[in-house]
Amino acid sequence: MRQRIRRIVQKEFLQALREPRMRFMLLLPPLIQLLIFGYAANLDVESARIAWMDEDRSPASRELLAEFQGSGRFLVAAEPRTETGMQNVLDRGQVDAVIRVLPGFARDIERGRTTGVQVLLDGTNSNTAAIVSGYATQTIARYAGSVMAQQQRKKLVAGAESAGGPVHVALPQITAQTRVWFNPDLRSRNYFIPGVIVNIITLVTLSLTAMAIVREKEIGTMEQ
């Protein structure tokens, strides 16, 4: 039985490599699909282009800009000064997002008030817009956390000095750290390629089987 199966496998390999159409179906389509889904269909956002619109022009707004630039995920491609300039860079697709710091940003922080940063996104590509929005939200939240920690330290120091006691500026903090296993960089090709390989194997197997049956029928060796 094993000898018969081995002979059949050898015959099928010889038949597949002998027929030009079979060689084409066996080699070229799988390679094209691997290249397309592995490299051309890339959903990663390595460096998002942003426009920085600073209407406050304060040390606090420059610290926020440094936070964006230091994250390694953003590239400041434009600095519009007016609403029209901001609209133009978005409409022309020159940037993926506009980060707008409103007037009174630093004043509200100093007074302990709630302040905001406007993030305008180019929604032409919804996947890119969602990723850039997540990156911007994380960067702003990280800056807000550092500002809150500084304000708490100032309050503790002021309270301790007024009471005449020792000054303790250490603040307990709880931080959540996310760790991704097996694909720490979250690259889309690491998700796509294994699934594409399985699909290719399934499709090629079905195609080769169908072509082999038709070929056997044409040459009259089906009954053998």
Write the CATH number for 101.
Answer: 3.40.1710.10
Alpha carbons 112 and 77: distance in angstroms, whole number: 32
End of a domain among 146, 174, 204? Answer: 146
3-state secondary structure of 123: coil
Which pLDDT value is given to residue 222? 63
* Any domain includes 207: yes
- CA pseudo-torsion sign 179, 182, 188, 191: negative
Which pLDDT value is given to residue 149? 78
* Any domain includes 6: no
HSE (side-chain half, CA atoms, 13 Å) at 63:
12
Within this chain, do residues 109 and 73 fall inside the same structural domain, yes or no?
A: yes
* Any domain includes 11: no
Which pLDDT value is given to residue 167? 53
Which pLDDT value is given to residue 152? 76
Within this chain, do residues 126 and 105 fall inside the same structural domain, yes or no?
A: yes
* φ and ψ of 48, to 5 deg: -80, 135
* Any domain includes 168: no
Which pLDDT value is given to residue 168? 56
End of a domain among 116, 146, 176? Answer: 146
How many of the other CB atoms lie within 10 Å of CB of 125? 15
Within this chain, do residues 68 and 118 fall inside the same structural domain, yes or no?
A: yes
Within this chain, do residues 57 and 120 fall inside the same structural domain, yes or no?
A: yes
Amino acid at position 186, single letter: L
Q: How far is CA 159 from CA 150, 154, 189, in A?
A: 14, 8, 54
Within this chain, do residues 28 and 81 fall inside the same structural domain, yes or no?
A: no
* Any domain includes 177: no
Average pLDDT for runs of 10 along the chain of length 224:
81 73 77 77 81 92 92 91 91 92 89 86 88 90 85 68 58 67 77 82 81 74 60
Alpha carbons 224 and 222: distance in angstroms, whole number: 6
Give the domain range for residue 34: 16-42+188-219
Alpha carbons 187 and 46: distance in angstroms, whole number: 10
Within this chain, do residues 87 and 23 fall inside the same structural domain, yes or no?
A: no
Which pLDDT value is given to residue 169? 53
Calculated CA dihedral for residues 143, 149, 152, 154, nearest 10 degrees: -90
- Domain total of the chain: 2
Within this chain, do residues 53 and 26 fall inside the same structural domain, yes or no?
A: no
Alpha carbons 13 and 64: distance in angstroms, whole number: 63
Within this chain, do residues 55 and 133 fall inside the same structural domain, yes or no?
A: yes
DSSP state string for 147-161 = HHHHHHHHHHHHHHH
Alpha carbons 97 and 89: distance in angstroms, whole number: 9
Instruction: Give burial (CB, 10 Å; 0-12/13-18/19+) of 175.
Output: exposed
Within this chain, do residues 70 and 139 fall inside the same structural domain, yes or no?
A: yes
